[in-house]
Amino acid sequence: MTATTTRKAPAPPAPARPAEARGDRGVAVVSHTVLAIWTVLIIVPLLWTLLSSFKTTSEIFASPFSLPKDWNFDNYVSAWTTAGIGRYFVNTVVVVGCALVIVMILGAMCAYVLARYRFFGNRFIYYLMLAGLTFPIFLAIVPLFFVLRNLGLLNTLPGLIIVYVAFALPFTVFFLHPFFRALPNEIGEAAEMDGCGEWRKFFQVMLPMARPGMAAVAIFNFLGLWNQFLLPVALNTKKDNYVLSQGMAEFASQAGYNVNFGRLFAAVVIMILPVAIVYILFQRQLQGSVTQGPMH
């Protein structure tokens, strides 16, 4: 005689209460309304700036919200050549590009060592890096001025690159530390068993696994360094070595009351265009690093 057992079917999920459903809909409506307003506040000034960059000054004042009569690039050509924005753009690309490469390599190596190895002073060095995040930039201007002058790097692009690296390094280490710490030990041990040394294990095994974090921190560093104003103004007063933020400030101040607004808006578009392109190209990596977390 065999005994038969009967299993109870899983109970269906309880339907949402009317009050909870209404509350969820209310939160969704409010959040979407706030996001829509925020989107309008961001998009409208950008579009207005773009349209104004194709207009003359008189056309901007006559009809600020209308489309340009002639879609030409005279303002862009004038801003790039006459106003010197082209030279400042190249200087900015050199400074930010070199600083970004250096800080990403040094920051990843430092974060990897602090996250994966235990040695005397490990936590002290890590907390010292975190302390750098709390240090205001303007308090370091005077010491940095004398340090760069003594090294012969004042008013030079290499000096500005070193300063950019120094101020971006703490955030890079802080951001990448949890990514490297969450990587499984088994992968590193397998790489060692296959004959990988420490350098090869880091660059070919561990670093690619932290790619989402590297992409995210690279975007944040690029945005911060590209828009940096205080450091170059204080430490880079040679006009031939101006970066875009300095060039824009000088361009706007020298014009006085006789401002060519069309050329000014064209210069603004040139300045913000690389930032927009970088964000559009790497937004998926940025979103993936936030949603997946350091474990992926």
- Residue whose token pair is 């060095």: 125
pLDDT for 295 equals 45
pTM for the whole structure: 0.82
By the 10 Å C-beta count (0-12 exposed, 13-18 middle, 19+ buried), 251 is classed as: buried
The pLDDT tens digits for 259-276 are 788 888 999 999 999 888
Higher pLDDT, 1 or 95: 95
User: What are the tens digits of pLDDT across the range 70-85?
Assistant: 888 889 998 898 878 8
Residue 168 near residue 103, CB atoms below 8 Å = yes
Percent helix, strand, coil in the chain (nearest 5)?
75, 0, 25
115-161 confidence digits (pLDDT tens): 988 888 889 999 988 888 888 888 889 999 999 999 999 999 999 99
Does residue 16 have a pLDDT over 60? no
Indicate whether 34 pLDDT > 90.
Answer: yes
pLDDT of residue 168: 93
Residue 257 has pLDDT above 80, yes or no: no
Beta strands in the chain (DSSP E): none
Q: How far is CA 167 from CA 84, 133, 150, in A?
A: 28, 8, 19
